[in-house]
Amino acid sequence: MNVVDVTTEGRVGVLTLNRPGALNALNMQMLDEITVALDRFEADPRIGAVLVRGSARAFSAGADIKESQPRRFPQVFVENWQAGWSRVADCRLPMVAAVNGYALGGGCELAMSCDLVIAGQTAKFGQPEVTLGVIPGMGGTQRLTRAVGKAKAADLLMTARMMDADEAERAGLVSRIVPDAQVDDTAMAAAQTIAGFGRTTMQLLKETLNAAFETPLAEGLRVEKLAFHSCFATPEQAEGMAAFAAKRAANFHHE
C-alpha cells in the first residue's frame, strides 16, 4: 500500500503524505515514493511546482521512531542514513508546504526543505529530537538556525518545545498563516501562481534563492549528519526510542 498519494492538479504536482495512523511519520518507503514522484515531476515539462501536504492532524510528526529505534552507529553512518531526504531540498521545482497540525522533527525539516510554508493557525512546529536521545538529522540544526536565528533555534532545539504558527511566522519559518480549513486551498493557489510563471525562470530563481540561504550549508549538513549518526552509538538513543515505543517517560540518567 502506498504511503504517499501522488496526483497532479493543473501544472502542480501534489504529494499527500498518507500514514494517518502514524501521524505521517517519515519512513523509508515514504522517502522512496517521494523520490520517484519528484523525479517524475521534474521530468515532466507540464509540471511547474510541487505541493506537499499532510492531514488535518499532522503534516508529519517526524522521522519514523519505530524504524529508527533498532539502528546503531556503524550502520547509520556507513549507509549515510536519512541523507536521501536532501532530494526534497534539491528538487529543482519550487515546492510549497501546506502545514496543518504537527510539523515536528523530520516533519519540520521537510517543511523547511520546501520554498514556501503555508501554515494553519493551529499548526505546531518543533524539533523534539533530544527527547529521543538524538539530534536532528535531516537539516534541522542548519535550516532552522538560518531561518529563525541562533537564539530561537537554540531554544527550540535544546528545550524541545513546540512553537505555534504565529511564533513561527514572526520568526521567519512560515510564509503565511491562514485559517486551518484554508491551508490546502491557499497553498494550492500559491503553487498554481508559481507554476504559471516560466519554468526556467522559476528554476533559476530557486537556485539563486537557495544560494543566498545555503552557502556554507553543505559543510554544516555534513557535520550534522556525522553527529546525528553518532547518536546511534549512545545509550540515550536506545533509551529515548525504547521509552517512546513503551509509551513511558525516558530516563536518560542511570548513574
With a CB cutoff of 8 Å and minimum separation 6, the contacts of 92 are: 42, 203, 206, 207
Q: Which of 37, 61, 63, 89 is catalytic?
A: 63
Residue 107: active-site member: no
- Selected from 3, 12, 61, 89, the binder of ligand CAA by CB under 6 A is 61
Q: What span, in angstroms and rounded, lies between the C-alpha atoms of 46 and 33?
A: 20
By CB under 6 A, tell whether 125 contacts ligand CAA.
no
State yes or no: residue 66 binds ligand CAA (CB under 6 A). Answer: yes
Quick check: 132 and 241 in contact, CB under 8 A? Answer: yes
Element (H, E) at 52: strand 49-53
Give the one residue of 111, 128, 152, 229 binding ligand CAA; rule: CB under 6 A: 128
> Pick the catalytic residue: 62, 98, 103, 109?
109
> Can you tell me the distance from the alpha carbon of 6 to that of 139, in angstroms, rounded to the nearest whole number?
24
224 binds ligand CAA (CB under 6 A): no
User: Considering only residues 129-188, where is the footprint of ligand CAA by CB under 6 A?
Assistant: 129, 131-132, 136-138, 140
| CA–CA gap between residue 39 and residue 28 (Å, rounded) | 17
Number of H helices, E strands in the chain: 12, 10
What is the spatial distance between Cα 53 and Cα 110, in angstroms, rounded to a whole number? Answer: 10
Only one of the segments 21-29, 115-123, 192-200, 207-215 lies at the binding site for ligand CAA (rule: CB under 6 A); that segment is 21-29
Which residue number, 144 or 195, has a Cβ lying nearer to ligand CAA?
A: 144
120 touches ligand CAA by CB under 6 A: no
Least distance in Å: CB of 16 to ligand CAA?
Answer: 17
109 catalytic, yes or no?
A: yes
